[in-house]
Amino acid sequence: MLELNHDWLIAAFSVSNSVRALFYLPQVIAVARSVDGARDIALSTWWMWAANNALGAVYAGVVMHHRVLAISFLLSAVACLVIIALALRARRRMNRRRNGLGVA
Q: What is the pLDDT of residues 5-56, one digit of tens each?
A: 777 887 888 788 778 878 899 999 999 898 899 998 999 999 999 999 999 9
Q: Where residue 18 sits, what CATH number does that domain have? A: 1.20.1280
Q: Is residue 50 part of a domain?
A: yes
What pTM value is reported for the model?
A: 0.80
**Domain range holding 31?**
6-98
Exposed e or buried b for every residue in 9-20, given b needs 16+ CB within 10 A?
Answer: eeeeebeebbee
Q: Is residue 104 part of a domain?
A: no
Contact 77, 58 (CB under 8 A): no
Distance CA 67, CA 56 (A): 12
pLDDT of residue 82: 95
